[in-house]
Amino acid sequence: MTLFAASLLAPDLGLIVWISITFGILLILLRKFAWGPITSALAQREATISESMEQAEKALAEAKQLQADNTKARREAEAQAQAILREAREEAERLRSEEVDKTRAQIQHLQESAQAEIEREKQSALDSLRTEVADLAVQAAEKILRENLDADRQKKIVNDFLSDLPKN
């Protein structure tokens, strides 16, 4: 056994050559069939990852831009909504004011019409009263003239006539 162990440890030039040739062939085969495809696959994978990262960054930038655009559009829409509400309130207030003014004008017109009607009725009543007073005066004068009497008798006739008048 010692002989066998000694031979394993002793350098053999032929074995070194064959191991070197085998190792060289193995390196060539690995380079041709393993290293090339592995390195090209790694390079392709690296390019794919790099491209995916760039696309992700672009997508993130686009998402941020869309978010900013959406925020801006939402703010503009809110501002427009506030403006529309403000205009609607102003329009409602204007319409209410117009209706109040119209109602006041109608009330004023009705008051003026009522005043004019009252004035006409008053004038008509005064005219009627004047006519009646004139008729009464004429009747009283007629009675006095018919009975051409003394002053005491005329006073009594006038007093009797006045007491006969209705007390309205």
| Domain layout of the chain by residue ranges | 43-164
Q: What angle do CA 74, 75, 76 make, to 5 degrees?
A: 90
Task: Decide if pLDDT at 70 tops 90.
Answer: yes
pLDDT for position 16: 86
| Percent with pLDDT over 70 in the chain | 86
pLDDT digit string (tens) for 102-154?
Answer: 999 999 999 999 999 999 998 888 878 777 876 777 777 777 666 666 667 76
pLDDT for position 52: 93
The rounded mean pLDDT for the chain is 84
Task: Decide if pLDDT at 55 tops 90.
Answer: yes
- DSSP-derived letter for residue 74 is H
Residue carrying structure tokens 């790099």:
50
Q: What is the helix (H) or strand (E) element at residue 47, kind and residue range?
A: helix 36-146
143 by Cβ neighbours in 10 Å (0-12 / 13-18 / 19+) ranks as middle
* Displacement of CA 125 from its chain's centroid (Å): 61
Using CA atoms, how far apart are residues 145 and 149, in angstroms rounded to an integer?
Answer: 9
**pTM (whole model) above 0.75:** no
